[in-house]
Structure 1
Amino acid sequence: NHQVVQILRTRYKKTLLKYFGRFSPQARANVRTVTMDLNFYYQDIVRACFPNAQIVIDRFHMIQMFTRSFNSLRVKVMKTFDKRSRQYQLLKSPWKLYLKKFDELE
């Protein structure tokens, strides 16, 4: 129903496991999906607390990860060309235009 249920003071693994452990195993088994960011511990927590849940990475972090990867590849390819070449200039100058297309996907 898109309502905030609880905001915890920290996002440490121990704190999250303790919080979710307060719910009955049956209630946690009924959880079907969990949307999360790319925090290293979250996947472990979801698997431990919600055995039947499918993990979904939130859209913001997916786009951010894709954008960083694309930009890294663009720079790597750009460096293979001479700095005065048209290819180099096309990859260097309008790079924000390439990334704008990814923002539109969101």
Structure 2
Amino acid sequence: MDGDNHQVVQILRTRYKKTLLKYFGRFSPQARANVKTVTMDLNFYYQDIVRACFPNAQIVIDRFHMIQMLTRSFNSLRVQVMKTFDKRSRQYQLLKSPWKLYLKKFDELEKVHPRYNWHYKDCLTPALL
């Protein structure tokens, strides 16, 4: 995919290292040396291929995998903190119950219609939680 105009350039039949090296080897060394950035997922083999074929390129992790990694890290940390509290405690329940809210963008949270939250013993909107 072209990073500037977001158009698909080529779809290969496989993702094997040999196939990718052969495909990128079709381009001249000068053309490959002019590549500035390569966006990819965290596959170890892709890093080897990029370093071999595009010596001057900076590797950028794609947005989907970056957000996925951050979300997993956040949830892992949330669970670790939860484990420090008793399961019946208010702190534990506040981390456990609305966990999906913590993953939403603030702009997407309901800000108008409050609902009673029994942990806080108050009427709150998800944005206030």
Could you tell me the TM-score, scaled by structure 1's length?
0.91
**1:38-69 CA deviation, whole Å, 9 max, x = no partner?**
11211111010001111110111100000001
Greater CA radius of gyration, 1 or 2?
2
Cα distance change on mapping 1:103 and 1:77 into 2, 3 Å: farther
State the number of aligned residues.
106
Cα distance change on mapping 1:105 and 1:37 into 2, 3 Å: farther
- The whole-number CA distance in structure 2 between the counterparts of 1:87 and 1:101 is 23
Q: Report the 3-state secondary structure (helix = DSSP H, G, I; strand = E; otherwise coil) of the residue aligned with 2:42.
A: coil
Deviation at 1:102, TM superposition (A): 8.4
Partners of 1:63 and 1:102 within 8 A in 2: no
2:93 pairs with 76, 89, 97, which one? 89
Partners of 1:63 and 1:103 within 8 A in 2: no
Partners of 1:34 and 1:55 within 8 A in 2: yes
Coordinate RMSD, CA, aligned: 2.7
Partners of 1:31 and 1:53 within 8 A in 2: yes
**Structure 2 unaligned regions, length at least 5:** 111-129
Partners of 1:33 and 1:56 within 8 A in 2: yes
Cα distance change on mapping 1:77 and 1:103 into 2, 3 Å: farther
Structure 1 residue ranges, 4+ long, deviating more than 4 angstroms after superposition? 102-106
**Structure 1 unaligned regions, length at least 5:** none
Deviation at 1:85, TM superposition (A): 0.5
Q: Report the 3-state secondary structure (helix = DSSP H, G, I; strand = E; otherwise coil) of the residue aligned with 1:34.
A: strand
- The whole-number CA distance in structure 1 between the counterparts of 2:13 and 2:70 is 30
User: Which residue does the alignment assign to 2:31?
Assistant: 27
**1:50-98 CA deviation, whole Å, 9 max, x = no partner?**
0111111011110000000110111111011011101000010000011
Deviation at 1:2, TM superposition (A): 3.0
Deviation at 1:104, TM superposition (A): 7.3
Partners of 1:67 and 1:99 within 8 A in 2: yes
